[in-house]
Amino acid sequence: MTPSAYVLEYHLVNYRRTWRSSVLSSLVLPLLTMLGFGIGVGAYVTGGVGGYSYLEWMVPGLIATTAMQTAIGESTWPVLSSFEWVKVYFAQAAAPLRIGDILGGHLAFMLFRVLLSIAAFLLVAFAFGTLRSAWAVAVPLIALLVGAAVAAPVAAYTASVTSDSYLAILIRFAVLPMSLFSGVFFPIESLPVVLRWVAYVLPLWHGVDLTRAATLGLDPGPGAVWQVLYLVFWCAAGWSLAYWRYQRRLVI
Amino acid sequence: MSYPFRRVEGVNSLIHARGLVKRFGDFTAVDGIDVDVQAGEAFGFLGPNGAGKSSTMRMIGCVSPPTGGVLRILGMDPRRDGPRIRARLGVCPQLDNLDPELTVLENLTTYARFFGIPRKVARARAAELLDFVQLGERAGSKVEPLSGGMKRRLTIARALVNEPDLVLLDEPTTGLDPQARHLVWERLFRLKQQGVTLVLTTHYMDEAEQLCDRLVVMDGGRIVAEGSPRALIDTHSTREVVELRFATDDQGTYAGKLEGIGERIEVLPDRVLLYVSDGDGALAEVHRRSLSPAGSLVRRSSLEDVFLHLTGRTLVD
């Protein structure tokens, strides 16, 4: 086993305490949103979107959003706590672990959480019959990509702040707009050009688009390769930033 | 608990520092210190807050790269061999960083895993260590409700989970009540008897006197004296000290009147210290001069006096 696997193991031991309630809420959340948005709001969108019912069209967006939200949830308060309150990172840094092990092990756990919440959502979506294609099996991979593309840079951000009021700012000014303008609830083509570019630049829309192609069995075209590469770029840049910020904070 | 005393082969000093420097921007925390710690020794860094003790400890713990000078830990270079060195260190930080959500036992077993210790071995060793720090009965309970002394003992147990060659304790009893302190001291003394090399920082002279075979006194990032507690006292202080408290706002007004009694006079805000070889004789002389202090005390010299003499300041403000 590599040292980062030991770090992952630590986070898993910690998760064992709360996994029941966390899995339950992972299931309840998609159920409620599906009922509220898909059936409630969907009843007004009678024409559907692009030949699909509104529910079918929106579910992949929600799955990608869930991946993003779980990644952000795990890379904000838990990371700040590991630096500021419980200080487990410092305990880990005193052991024979390197910065990459500490960061890698924690990111691996964040992705594990992303997978869990996605799996729950997929299950509910499957039960509602909104998965139209066998390509849905690719959704977990896309979700991992979205999760890493978001968790790594957010962990870098969290590692740079000392108070959780900065995390609230992140949620308000980055996460909320990203959820609204990434083609989750309506196609980004209905946005003005400027806002459409916001969607192109941020990672979520690419995840939404890829997930939508997978669950609806659409041909994503050659653009999908660029979208995947763009998300990989977010992962790599996020990792480098996070590594740098972790090092600045742990090695003083 | 039987602690395996291991000889560290081919290394003369477990810690070897020459001209060690740590700077943070313009601020020099450690200003060129020379230190050697031998296997089996209990070595102390004594000094007030801000003396550079913790910065030194972090460099020794290989979590803070030196700005200058030579540093070898277990014969290796922290800049290059950090993880290899840390694998053989036990670290008890100044502020507990236990995981409050995990149980007492899990805190040890998960930490043992960071050293690549197999789960089974980790569990057995954790149980043994919990008995050693007298927390065996709390193995299954959460860390949060434990008292400060219990948490500190658990942190010490965690520092021993990899059977380290060198145990670093940064202010091991700061913030503990007297009873909890004594319990920690007693456990550390046991470790010392078993031949474990201890390096600790403290600003408590009694802690240094009780635990350290040898210590350095630090002030302003420099080492101002070095030796065994006894030798330091013999060299830098007199046998006895007379403490006098006068009923005045300015104890200094009495300094002149005490002139010639003993070797040295120190005026503190709340008392005057006379450094003498014969305390009772000196006190008799004070009374013969019709100076009537509101309170007086004759005691033996301590490291506190050594520090006062060397730096002109008291250790604990």
| Region B97-117 average pLDDT | 95
pLDDT at B6 over 60: no
Same domain, B95 and B205: yes
Q: What is the pLDDT of residue A37?
A: 75
Same domain, B139 and B179: yes
Tens-digit pLDDT profile for residues B16-64 = 999 999 999 999 999 999 999 999 999 999 988 889 999 999 999 999 9
Assign 3-class secondary structure to A59-108. Answer: HHHHHHHHHHHHHHHHHCHHHHHHHHHCCHHHHHHHCCCCHHHHHHHHHH
Q: What is the pLDDT of residue A165?
A: 95
Measure in Å the smallest separation between the Cα of A94 and chain B Cα atoms.
Answer: 7
Interchain CB distance below 8 Å, B97 and A86: yes
Interchain CB distance below 8 Å, B101 and A7: no
pLDDT band for position A229 (cuts 50, 70, 90): very high
Same domain, B220 and B272: no
In B186-308, where do the E strands start and end?
197-202, 214-219, 222-227, 240-245, 264-267, 272-276, 295-300
| Region A48-66 average pLDDT | 90
Measure in Å the smallest separation between the Cα of A91 and chain B Cα atoms.
Answer: 6
Same domain, B134 and B264: no
Same domain, B277 and B137: no
| Region B240-261 average pLDDT | 86
Pick from A197, A176, A226, A213: nearest CA to A65? A176
pLDDT band for position A116 (cuts 50, 70, 90): very high
Would you say residue B218 lies in a domain?
yes
Which single residue is written with the structure tokens 């838990």?
A: A78
- Write the single-letter amino acid at B156: I
Among the ranges given (A11-15, A114-118, B251-255), the one the predictor scored with the smallest mean pLDDT: B251-255
Distance CA A147, CA A107 (A): 9
CATH of residue B218's domain is: 3.40.50.300
Residue B264 near residue B215 (C-beta atoms within 8 A): no
Same domain, B153 and B284: no
Interchain CB distance below 8 Å, A86 and B99: yes
Calculated CA dihedral for residues A11, A17, A20, A26, nearest 10 degrees: -40
Pick from B101, B59, B139: nearest CA to A82? B101
Considering only CB atoms, B114 lies closest to which of A14, A17, A97, namely A97
Q: Is the dihedral of CA A228, A230, A233, A239 positive or negative?
A: negative
CATH of residue B246's domain is: 3.30.70
Would you say residue B232 lies in a domain?
no
Q: What is the pLDDT of residue B74?
A: 95
Which of B227, B258, B273 lies at the terminal end of a domain, its last residue?
A: B227
Q: What is each CA distance from A154 to A164, A203, A224, B110, B184, in whole angstroms?
A: 13, 12, 24, 26, 41
Would you say residue B307 lies in a domain?
no
CB of A94 less than 8 A from some CB of B? yes
Same domain, B161 and B278: no
Residue B122 near residue B112 (C-beta atoms within 8 A): yes
Test mutation, A1, A4, A17, A247, chain B, max B CBs within 10 A: A17
Identify all chain A residues contacting B64, using CB atoms and an 8 Å cutoff: 251-252
Same domain, B200 and B248: no
Would you say residue B53 lies in a domain?
yes
Same domain, B132 and B107: yes
Which single residue is written with the structure tokens 């951000």?
A: A157
Measure in Å the smallest separation between the Cα of B116 and chain A Cα atoms.
Answer: 7
DSSP code of residue B76: B
Domain extent at residue B257: 238-300
Tens-digit pLDDT profile for residues A10-56 = 999 999 988 888 888 888 888 887 788 777 887 888 888 888 988 89
Q: What is the pLDDT of residue A122?
A: 93
* Among chain B residues, CA nearest to A9: B110
Same domain, B139 and B276: no
Same domain, B223 and B250: no
Q: Which residues of B75-103 are buried (b: 16+ CB within 10 A; e: fewer)?
A: ebebeebbeebbbbbbbbbbebbbbbbbb
Would you say residue B114 lies in a domain?
yes
pLDDT band for position B9 (cuts 50, 70, 90): low
Q: What is the pLDDT of residue B10?
A: 60
- Number of structural domains (chain B) is 2
pLDDT at B7 over 70: no
- Write the single-letter amino acid at A176: L
Q: What is the pLDDT of residue B1?
A: 52
Would you say residue B233 lies in a domain?
no
Q: Report phi then psi at A209, rounded to 5.
A: -60, -45
Distance CA A86, CA A72 (A): 19
Interchain CB distance below 8 Å, A94 and B91: yes
Greater pLDDT, B85 or A33: B85
pLDDT band for position B2 (cuts 50, 70, 90): low
Query: Which CB contacts under 8 angstroms, 24+ apart, belong to A15-18?
Result: A15/A109, A15/A113, A17/B101
Pick from A2, A243, A12: nearest CA to A109? A12
Residue B160 near residue B189 (C-beta atoms within 8 A): no
Measure in Å the smallest separation between the Cα of B301 and chain A Cα atoms.
Answer: 38
Test mutation, B109, B113, B123, B163, chain A, max A CBs within 10 A: B113
Tens-digit pLDDT profile for residues B128-155 = 999 999 999 999 999 999 999 999 999 9
Q: What is the pLDDT of residue A43?
A: 80
CB of A99 less than 8 A from some CB of B? no
**Residue % of chain B over a pLDDT of 70:** 96
Interchain CB distance below 8 Å, B116 and A251: no
For chains A and B, CB pairs below 8 A equal 71
Q: What is the pLDDT of residue B217?
A: 92
Q: Report phi then psi at B125, rounded to 5.
A: -70, -40
- Write the single-letter amino acid at B315: L
| Region A140-153 average pLDDT | 98
Mean pLDDT of chain B: 90
ipTM for the whole complex: 0.89
Q: What is the pLDDT of residue B256?
A: 84
Identify all chain B residues contacting A22, using CB atoms and an 8 Å cutoff: none
Interchain CB distance below 8 Å, B110 and A97: no
Same domain, B271 and B152: no
